[in-house]
């Protein structure tokens, strides 16, 4: 029952537990669940949990339920339910008919609560929230018993039924489990299991004015659904004794095993719904699916393929110890996937005009360009070439250093898929000093980029035909936060926001075939990076592109080295330079 043949998937301690339980016959199948609370959009941390839960179920022929943990009506909305379902599906997973809502079990939870009362294991408490907190004690001091703890079963039942019937105001009474106020585990000190909230619920409407607490609802939901392995994050480790207590006391038909793992933390990223909500509500981003957001919908809009996110989640593994993963690893997985799958195109983001003086005025040649060097099945396409082209402004230097292998006066450079040209001159705006035009001559013998005499031309640059290219908007994203650990040391995470995380380039010039690129489609712009057609701002024949991720830039490395050699080798300095370069 262990690994499938040839499966190179790295194991982890949870997978090992599952394998052991199947081998020992404790279970004959594996049933997991992904239990989001519909109070926000899913983020990359949830993706880790999704990949783990759905992945285990798929690997061992079991199933994974999608269960909305909708026990708190004040923060939950249908919009979130819909978005979560879309995101899980997009990630490539299918819960089949196993879509559940904790709110579907409200009647059963209520019956279980009455059962606890009848067993003398739960009581109605009239202390205020504040008093309950004070009575609970601390890690070093035991708690104090509530004066209402020894109410009779009859009185408790009567009060609980009246709580349900709506006789009391919010906060006036709660139902608590009667466990142990001296327990070393604070969660076991008579935890609240029901509270009064006169708030309608997005699914049950006005039917209930008492709602169960997470610790009570979650274990029971797992048991009702016959979950075998209830996988959650480490902060629930101290809740496990309570999870087990409810299921043991109530003798539920099955007793799932709760297993905790370390949540995902990422550098330069915040992954708490509370913080993400603030970014959205205070308008720092353009909604939950802003391409800079670490949400699944944001990453989708940004152009991250689901396969790359799954790959990332597999690579980071599953551990018991908290750690922070470098966001560069996620970007690496995205590049890896897109390198294999994204067709190549040429696009010039900051155009500089080049006139090829010895090229005939009216001639247009169709150059053969390879669509994906990683996969010949992508074929080739024709790219029009003529006397005037545009190149990237950063691909020309008036007075270049030695290792600059691009266009510069007197130097030869290869135009991708076209000819080798030699720069013969340039014009400058006398006032601003900006280069306005570059002149070249081409060598007609070098079509396709080869030199008949075998001379070596090191640099190859991309270009678009001035007559055929079309103008488009390209949105370049940088990290949303400037610091690797936003909000560290008690600072407000908002203070680390990067004010330059979005740069909109209006006058980009793109190869004509991109005009018909479908919203959501992903491309490599040669030498620049991966780009995806934005699903919100694009119009027919007027695509807007989002930069998904940059390609690695060897020039940036050389530049960094140079800067260091020149004594300016401060850390971070090179990063600034790199950012400027694209402009």
Separation between Cα atoms, residue 48 and residue 52, nearest integer Å? 6
Stretch of 32-40, 370-378, 390-398, 525-533 contacting ligand ATP, by CB under 6 A: 32-40
- Under rule CB under 6 A, residue 272 binds ligand ATP: yes
Strand partners, 476: 503
**DSSP SS3 for 574:** helix
- Under rule CB under 6 A, residue 33 binds ligand ATP: no
Q: 564-573 burial string, b = 16+ CB within 10 Å, else e?
A: eeeeeeeeee
In the complex, which residue's CB is closest to ligand ATP? 45
- Under rule CB under 6 A, residue 273 binds ligand ATP: yes
Active-site choice (37, 131, 365, 388): 37
- Under rule CB under 6 A, residue 271 binds ligand ATP: yes
- Under rule CB under 6 A, residue 267 binds ligand ATP: no
Stretch of 11-19, 31-39, 114-122, 341-349 contacting ligand ATP, by CB under 6 A: 31-39
CB of 64: closest distance to ligand ATP in angstroms? 12
Q: Where are the alpha helices (DSSP H) in 317-454?
A: 327-341
Stretch of 43-51, 72-80, 220-228, 562-570 contacting ligand ATP, by CB under 6 A: 43-51
DSSP string, 115-146: HHHHTT-EEEE---HHHHHHHT--SSS-----
- Under rule CB under 6 A, residue 298 binds ligand ATP: no
- Under rule CB under 6 A, residue 49 binds ligand ATP: yes
Half-sphere exposure of 190 (CA within 13 A, CB side): 30
**DSSP SS3 for 16:** helix
Among 102, 232, 461, 508, binds ligand ATP (CB under 6 A): 232
User: Given the complex with ligand ATP, which of 66 and 407 has the nearer CB atom?
Assistant: 66
Residue of 403, 404, 412 lying closest to 446 (CA atoms): 412
Answer yes or no: 273 catalytic: yes
Among 15, 30, 36, 117, binds ligand ATP (CB under 6 A): 36
Binding mask 236-265 for ligand ATP (x = CB under 6 A): ---------------------------xx-
Active-site choice (273, 393, 406, 475): 273
CB of 36: closest distance to ligand ATP in angstroms? 4
- Under rule CB under 6 A, residue 233 binds ligand ATP: yes
Instruction: Phi first, then psi: give them for residue 382, nearest 5 degrees.
Output: -100, 135
**DSSP SS3 for 406:** coil
Separation between Cα atoms, residue 464 and residue 286, nearest integer Å? 32
Separation between Cα atoms, residue 310 and residue 336, nearest integer Å? 12
Separation between Cα atoms, residue 179 and residue 190, nearest integer Å? 5
Binding mask 57-76 for ligand ATP (x = CB under 6 A): ------------x-------
User: Given the complex with ligand ATP, which of 46 and 301 has the nearer CB atom?
Assistant: 46
Separation between Cα atoms, residue 378 and residue 317, nearest integer Å? 33
- Under rule CB under 6 A, residue 37 binds ligand ATP: yes
Task: Give the DSSP H or E segment for 223.
Answer: helix 214-225
Instruction: Phi first, then psi: give them for residue 42, nearest 5 degrees.
Output: -75, 145
- Under rule CB under 6 A, residue 46 binds ligand ATP: yes
- Residue 491, CA distances (Å) to 300, 446, 487, 496 in order: 30, 59, 5, 9
Total residues contacting ligand ATP by CB under 6 A comes to 15
- Residue 216, CA distances (Å) to 40, 155, 221, 342, 424 in order: 22, 22, 9, 48, 78
CB of 490: closest distance to ligand ATP in angstroms? 19
- Under rule CB under 6 A, residue 414 binds ligand ATP: no
- Residue 125, CA distances (Å) to 172, 191, 195, 242 in order: 9, 11, 10, 19
Active-site choice (121, 144, 149, 263): 263
CB of 335: closest distance to ligand ATP in angstroms? 23
User: Given the complex with ligand ATP, which of 263 and 515 has the nearer CB atom?
Assistant: 263
CB of 233: closest distance to ligand ATP in angstroms? 4
Strand partners, 412: 422
Answer yes or no: 263 catalytic: yes
CB of 45: closest distance to ligand ATP in angstroms? 2
User: Given the complex with ligand ATP, which of 212 and 582 has the nearer CB atom?
Assistant: 212
* Token pair for 347: 């696009």
Active site positions, annotated: 37, 263, 273
Q: Please give the residue ranges that form the binding site for ligand ATP (CB under 6 A).
A: 35-37, 45-46, 48-49, 69, 232-233, 263-264, 271-273
């Amino acid at each position: 029952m262990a690994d499938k043949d040839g499966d190179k998937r790295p194991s982890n301690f949870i997978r090992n537990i599952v394998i052991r339980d199947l081998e020992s016959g404790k279970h004959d199948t594996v049933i997991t669940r992904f239990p989001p609370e519909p109070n926000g959009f899913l983020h990359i941390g949830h993706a880790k949990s999704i990949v783990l839960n759905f992945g285990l179920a798929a690997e061992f022929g079991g199933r994974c339920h999608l269960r909305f943990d909708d026990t708190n009506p004040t923060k939950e909305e249908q919009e979130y339910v819909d978005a979560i379902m879309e995101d899980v599906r997009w990630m490539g997973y299918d819960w089949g008919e196993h879509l559940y809502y904790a709110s579907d079990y409200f009647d059963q939870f209520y019956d279980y609560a009455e059962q606890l009362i009848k067993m003398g294991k739960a009581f109605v408490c009239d202390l205020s929230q504040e008093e309950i907190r004070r009575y609970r004690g601390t890690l070093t001091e035991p708690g104090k018993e509530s004066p209402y703890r020894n109410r009779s079963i009859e009185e408790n039942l009567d009060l609980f039924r009246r709580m349900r019937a709506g006789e009391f105001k919010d906060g006036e009474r709660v139902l608590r489990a009667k466990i142990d106020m001296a327990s070393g585990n604070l969660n076991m000190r008579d935890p609240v299991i029901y509270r009064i909230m006169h708030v309608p619920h997005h699914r049950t409407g006005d039917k209930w004015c008492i709602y169960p607490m997470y610790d009570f609802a979650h274990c029971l939901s797992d048991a009702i659904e016959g979950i075998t392995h209830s996988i959650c994050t480490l902060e629930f480790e101290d809740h496990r004794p309570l999870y087990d207590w409810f299921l043991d006391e109530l003798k539920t038909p099955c007793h799932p095993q709760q297993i905790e793992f370390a949540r995902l933390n990422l550098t330069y990223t915040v992954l708490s719904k509370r913080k993400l909500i603030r970014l959205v509500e205070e308008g720092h981003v353009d909604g939950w699916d802003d391409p800079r957001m670490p949400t699944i919908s944001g990453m989708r809009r940004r152009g991250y393929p689901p396969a790359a996110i799954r790959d990332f989640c597999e690579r980071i593994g599953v551990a018991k110890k908290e750690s922070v993963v470098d966001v560069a690893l996620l970007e690496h997985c995205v590049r890896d996937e897109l390198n294999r799958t994204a067709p190549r195109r040429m696009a010039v983001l900051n155009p500089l005009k080049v006139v090829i003086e010895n090229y005939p005025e009216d001639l247009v040649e169709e150059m053969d360009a390879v669509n994906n060097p990683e996969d010949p099945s992508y074929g080739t396409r024709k790219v029009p070439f003529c006397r005037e082209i545009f190149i990237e402004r950063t691909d020309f230097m008036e007075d270049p250093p030695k290792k600059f292998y691009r266009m510069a006066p007197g130097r030869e450079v290869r135009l991708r898929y076209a000819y080798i040209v030699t720069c013969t001159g340039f014009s400058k705006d006398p006032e601003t000093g900006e280069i306005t035009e570059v002149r070249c001559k081409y060598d007609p013998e070098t079509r396709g980029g080869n030199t008949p005499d075998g001379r070596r031309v090191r640099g190859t640059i991309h270009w678009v035909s001035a007559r055929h290219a079309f103008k488009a908007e390209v949105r370049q994203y940088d990290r949303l936060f400037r610091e690797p650990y936003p909000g560290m040391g008690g600072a407000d995470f908002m203070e680390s926001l990067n004010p330059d995380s979005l740069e909109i380039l209006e006058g980009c010039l793109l190869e004509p075939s991109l005009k018909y690129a479908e919203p959501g489609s992903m491309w490599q712009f040669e030498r620049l990076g991966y780009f995806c057609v934005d699903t919100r701002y694009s119009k027919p024949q007027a695509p807007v592109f989002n930069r998904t991720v940059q390609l690695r830039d060897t020039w940036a490395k050389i530049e960094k080295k140079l800067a260091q050699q020149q004594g300016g080798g401060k850390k971070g300095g090179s990063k600034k330079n790199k950012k400027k370069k694209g402009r």
